[in-house]
Structure 1
Amino acid sequence: MSLFWRIFLLNAAVLVVATALLLLGPATVSTPVLFTEVVIAAGGVGVMLAANAVLFRMSLAPLRRLTRAMTTTDLLRPGRRLDACGQGEFADLITTFNTMLDRLEAERAASSSLALSAQEAERRRIAQELHDEVGQTLTVVLLDLKRVADQVPEPLREDLRRVQETTRAGLDEIRWIARRLRPGVLDELGLTSALTALAHEITAHAGLTVRRSYAPDLPALDERTELVLYRVAQESLTNAARHARATKADLSLHRTADGVELVVADDGRGTGGAPEGSGIRGMRERALLIGARLALGPAPGGGTRVRMTVPSHTAPRADAPPHTAPPADAPPHTAARGDDPLRTAAEGDT
C-alpha cells in the first residue's frame, strides 16, 4: 500500500469513529452551546489529534531512522546498514538507500585506490629525482669544496669547512626527505626493517623515543599491505611528534587470530575531541584499500592509540623476504643509510 493511501485511510478511520460516536452517543449540541458541550467537543478533537499523531509516528518511524542514518553515515566507516523493515515504500526506500551505500563505498574504494597509487608513484619519482639529481649535485659540490679547501690559505679554510658542513647537512636532509617519500628499505628488506629505520629517523629528527615490538611469526604480506602498514605507522608517529607533543611512543606489530595488528600508542596530549584532520582520514582511506579496520582512541596511560587490524586474506608477495624481526634496540639496516653512495661520498675526508 502506498504512503498516500495509508495516510488517507488512517484519517478516514479516525473521522469515521468520531462520527459514529457523535451519532450514536448521548452527546448533543444545543443552542446556545453549553459549556459541557464545548468541553466534550474539545475533548473529541483532542482525541482525534492524539490518535493521528500516534498513528503517524508509528507509520513514519522507518523514515525517521532513515533520516538519522543519512546524517550519520560516513563512507570511511563502512558496513553500517539499516534493516529493511516497514511496509511498502518505506522498505523499498531503505533497500534503495543500502544499495546506494554499497555502490558509493565501492566507487570510493576504487577512486581512493587510483588516487593513492598515483600518489605513491609520484612520491617514488620525486624521491628518485631528489636522490639522483639534487643529491648528486650536492655531492659534487662537497667534493669541489674539499678540493678547494686543501688549496686555499689557512684563514679561508675554516670558512670553507663551515660551508662544507652546511652542504652536508642539506644533503642529509634531502636524503631523509627522499626516504620519507619512498622508503627503499621497505622494498628491499621488508616491513619490520623499514619500521625500525622509521623509528630511528623519528627519534633522530623529532626527539620522540620509540619503543618497538615485533612478533617473530608474522605472516608474509603483499606489497600493498606492507605499504599501508608503513604509512599508517609513519603518520601516527609524525602526529605524535608534531601535534601531540609526545615524548615516548610504542610501536608494535603482532599476529592475531585473523591477521596482523599494528598498534602505535603515545603519551601525548591526545586528540581532545578535535575533528579528524586530513592525516587521520588518509589513514582510514588506506585501511579501506586492504579491508583493514582502523580504530583511533585514547591510550591507557594517556595520549592516543592507533590500532589497525589487517585480515589474513592478503596474498604474500612472490619476492617477499622472510620477516625476521630485528632486536628492539638494533639500529636501522645499512641499506637505509650506510650503503648509500651519496652518503659515502659526502662523508669522505673533510
Structure 2
Amino acid sequence: MPKIDLFLLLITAAVAVASFIPAQGTSAEVLDTLGGVGIALLFFVHGAALPREVVLQGLVQWRLHLFIFAITFVVFPIVVMPFGVLPAAWMPADLLLGFLYLAALPSAVSSSIAFTAMARGNVPAAICSSAASNVFGLLLTPVLLSLMTRTSVEGGFDLTRALGDVVLQLLVPFVAGHIARPGLAGIMAKHERRIGQIDQGIILLIVYTAFSQSVVDGLWSRLPPASVALTAVLCLVLLAVVLAVTAFIARRFGFSRGDEIAAVFCGSKKSLASGLPLAKVLFAAAPSFGMIVLPIMFYNQIQILVGAVLARRYARIGTMPAVAG
C-alpha cells in the first residue's frame, strides 16, 4: 500500500480549516493579494526551471509527444463530456464546469517524471512531454475549455478575457523566468528543496483562500454529500479509462515498453500545480470556485495513489496486465 503524500494531507487540512474558519473581510483581501503575487512567483520559477535543451532533445520523439498530447487534450475531454447528462441534483453546473476544466488541464510535471523513472520508462521523453504540455497548456486550456462549455455549461466561457488574464498573470512571469534561467540555474539547483516547499506553500494558500470564499458563499449548502461522493467515483473511473485507453493504443502503435510507460504516466496525469493557479486566474470572481476545483483536487490524490501502485507493478513485472480488446 503506497504511503499518503504529506502534501496531499496538507491540502485536505487546508480545505477543512477553510470550511470551519474561513478567511473573511480584510484578512481575505490580504490573502487574495498574496495569492496573486504567489502565482506570478510560481510561474516565474517554473519558467526558470525549464531547461531549453530538454525541449530540443525531445523534438526527435515527436510521434510519442503527439500521442501523449492527444491523450491529454483530446481523450480526456471525450471521456468527460458525457458527464453533462447526469441529473443536476447530482452534478451541479459548477461541478460539471470543474470536470471540464480538469479535462482541459495539461499534464503534471513532477509526478509524471517520478513515476516514469520508478517504472523504468523513457524519462527524457517524460520530461519533454510534461514540460511542453504545461507551456502550451497555459493557452490551450482556456481555448479547449471554451469549446467544451459552449455546449455543456450555460453562459459559456469568456475566452478573450481568459486568454488576456493568462498571458498577463501567468505567461509573462513564465517567459521572464525562462529568460532569467542562465543566471538563476545554479541558485535554483542549490535550493531546490526550499523552492519546492515555497511552491507547495503557494498552492496551499490558494486552496485556503479559494475555499474560504466558497464556504462564505455557501459552498457546502449547495453541494450535497452525494455530489462529493460522485466526484470521487467519477475521478477514479476517468483515470481507469484513460490508463486503459493509453496502454491499449500505445501497444497498437508499436511503442517500446519505455515509451509506453512515459505515455501512460504523462497522458493520465493532470497538473494540480498549474491547475489551481490557472483556475484562480480564470475563475477569480466565481462564488463557486471551491466546487470548480474539487474534481482536480480529488483526481490529483487518486492519480498519485494509483500511479505509485502502477509504477511499482511496471518495475516488478515489466508490463501492465493485458488490456481487453
State the TM-score, normalized to the length of structure 2. Answer: 0.21
Asked which structure has the greater CA Rg, the reply is 1
Higher strand share: 1
Higher helix share: 2
